Amino acid sequence: MPDEFRPLSSRGNQHALELGRWMKKEEMVPEHIVSSPVLKSWQTVSSVCYELDIDKDAVDFDDRIYQAKESELCQVISATDSDINSLLLVGHNPGLEDLFNYLLKDTAEFPDGKVFSTATLCVLFLHDWADMEKNSACLSQIVHSK
């Protein structure tokens, strides 16, 4: 089965629900959500929206996110309206990890060498969505689902 049509495993769905619950507990409810349109991403964002009491119809699905390079993800983020203060981007590796390394000056070392294992939430602060320059973000936290 092609990757874009593969569903989340029951464990993956549980991880998405856990991240949504964590976001709710931490009061991290995004003003805007942009997601890859592939099935696993759709299921992930649906579970997170369920936990955050967000209408999943409000999610923007962007074809550019699937198999995107960091430069394409920067374009997706740069298109965010300047009135939006928080954005949740749901996507895939290796693009998300490349974006992470591009936006942060100092990146942490992880035991398995991966920043974004399955169901990882990375909280970054950016000065301006339109300013997606190298080393332009600050890392707040990384949350891995268990």
Instruction: Indicate the domain borders of the chain.
Output: 3-144
CATH topology of domain 3-144: Rossmann fold (3.40.50)
Half-sphere exposure of 2 (CA within 13 A, CB side): 5
Q: What is the pTM of this model?
A: 0.91
Q: What does the pLDDT look like over 68-119, one tens digit per residue?
A: 999 999 999 999 999 999 999 999 999 999 999 899 877 666 656 667 777 8
Helix (H) or strand (E) holding 125: strand 120-126
What percent of the chain has a predicted confidence (pLDDT) above 70? Answer: 95
Q: Which 8-state DSSP code applies to residue 116?
A: -
Average pLDDT, the chain: 91
Give the model's pLDDT for residue 112: 60
- Preceding amide of 111 cis, omega within 30: no
Give the model's pLDDT for residue 111: 56
Q: What's 44-103 look like in SS3?
A: HHHHHHHHHCCCHHHCEECHHHCCCCHHHHHHHHHCCCCCCCCEEEECCCCHHHHHHHHH
